[in-house]
Structure 1
Amino acid sequence: MADPLALSARAGLPEDMRVLLTDVPRDRWDQSLPEMARFWLQMHQGFRQHHAHMAALTTAWRQGQLDVRGLHDRLIPALQQFLQHLDGHHRIESGQYFPAMARVEPRIATGIALLDRDHETIHQVLENLFKAGLALHQGLAGPDAGDRAARLGDVIERAQMPLARHLDDEEEIVIPLIALKGDQLA
């Protein structure tokens, strides 16, 4: 039986994991949020934009606006930066913030555990991106460079859903917590 809370299966969080969202709903996430919460949202928006940039590059290549060399020269550095930033972000969350958050607010502990589990799934997504990017880089001069570029584009496209789902779900747990109890996390 498939896990309904698996990152690839869920369409959102169950209500019991969104308990703090009632006190700080998304429609109230404005400039009155604490600096830490605004920073968290900015980081997440940066990941969304970075992924969209990579997807746009592969779309431009598929539409003939870039040759394979042009795609490589623009996409590989962007991919490296994306992988490094997201991996670093997740390491800090899993190693420092998530344990502290679960201690500060036990009602969100199961949601935090789910987010931490998501990181394992996303690590595989990042590994797939790395391997596809490396394949393009290593085979750029070969006869199958176009196939390698297409595979990388496909991997970037498949990465969008789990990354977006995780970021959205994480925000629904973490942002209200920071708004309500962020001073206890320092």
Structure 2
Amino acid sequence: MSDTHDDPLALASRTGLPPEFLYLRDALPRERWSTGGLHPTARRWLHMHGGFRAHQAEMGAMVDAWRRDQVDIRSLHRSLIPALQQYLQHLDGHHRIESGHYFPALQQLEPRIAGGIDLLDRDHEAIHAHIEAMVRTGRALHEAVAVGAADAGDRVERLADVLDLAGPQLTRHLDDEEDIVIPLIALRGDPLG
């Protein structure tokens, strides 16, 4: 099923998880997720997600500084393109591990949450489209700056638009994934070891 605005559970349109996917979080609410008491895998998961959120904020701040004329386009390019590459590599790798290994194991561990895990996996497809758009617009910016193209500023704006569109959806996915995965691992252990 595609990620459309007609589907209330589509990543682009949802504002949270339906109650049937929140029973584990209800058993272990966020306010009890003190990282010291969580299973080490759940702590690592939260740490990784925190890194993605911080990286998104950092890239947003870089673009904002450029928009406020606080940095020139070459300085922006020197910082933003490597940050974007690192972010995309980590995000893609994280999703491959989740979809290829953790999600199937978590469904076996807790069959009742299979629909929630399937939803998270479907999110990965929607996020992959954002990743592809970030790669395309990041490459276009890099090429424009490398040759001193007159439209390099427009390329920054295109990349900024892609980041602005992807950011809230990525955050929604991270929040929802945590609401399913963190209590499941905390309450039942790491299904992979």
| TM-score interval, normalised by the smaller of the two chains | over 0.9
Q: Which residue of 2 aligns with 1:8?
A: 12
**Equivalences for residues 27-42 of structure 1 within 5 A:** 27-30=31-34, 31-42=36-47
Task: Give, in whole Å, the separation in 2 of the partners of 1:127 and 1:65.
Answer: 29
Question: In structure 2, which of residues 87, 100, 105 is the aligned counterpart of residue 82 of structure 1?
Answer: 87
Which consecutive segments of 4 or more residues in structure 1 shift more than 4 A?
A: none
Q: Which residue of 2 aligns with 1:177?
A: 184
Cα deviation code 1:49-98 (max 9, x no counterpart):
00100000000000001111111010000000000000000000000000
Question: In structure 1, which of residues 159, 165, 168 is the aligned counterpart of residue 166 of structure 2?
Answer: 159
Q: Which amino acid aligns with 1:146?
A: G
Task: Give, in whole Å, the separation in 2 of the partners of 1:181 and 1:6.
Answer: 28
**Equivalences for residues 11-160 of structure 1 within 5 A:** 11-30=15-34, 31-140=36-145, 141-160=148-167
Task: Give, in whole Å, the separation in 2 of the partners of 1:102 and 1:108.
Answer: 7
Q: Percent identity?
A: 59
Task: Give, in whole Å, the separation in 1 of the partners of 2:155 and 2:32.
Answer: 44
Q: Which amino acid aligns with 2:189?
A: G
Task: Give, in whole Å, the separation in 1 of the partners of 2:174 and 2:10.
Answer: 14
When residues 136 and 108 of structure 1 are mapped into structure 2, their CA distance, relative to the original with a 3 A threshold, is same
TM-score, normalising length: structure 1: 0.98
Q: Which amino acid aligns with 1:166?
A: H
Task: Give, in whole Å, the separation in 2 of the partners of 1:42 and 1:99.
Answer: 22
5+ residue gaps, structure 2, are none
TM-score, normalising length: structure 2: 0.94
8 Å contact 2:41–2:190 — kept in the other structure?
A: no
Q: Which amino acid aligns with 1:35?
A: P
8 Å contact 1:58–1:153 — kept in the other structure?
A: yes
TM-superposed deviation, 1:185? 3.7
When residues 24 and 146 of structure 1 are mapped into structure 2, their CA distance, relative to the original with a 3 A threshold, is same
Task: Give, in whole Å, the separation in 1 of the partners of 2:190 and 2:96.
Answer: 22
Residue correspondences, number:
186
8 Å contact 1:54–1:79 — kept in the other structure?
A: yes
TM-superposed deviation, 1:184? 4.0
SS at match of 1:139: helix
Q: Which amino acid aligns with 1:18?
A: L
Task: Give, in whole Å, the separation in 2 of the partners of 1:155 and 1:184.
Answer: 35
5+ residue gaps, structure 1, are none
Task: Give, in whole Å, the separation in 1 of the partners of 2:171 and 2:152.
Answer: 29
Q: CA RMSD in A?
A: 1.0
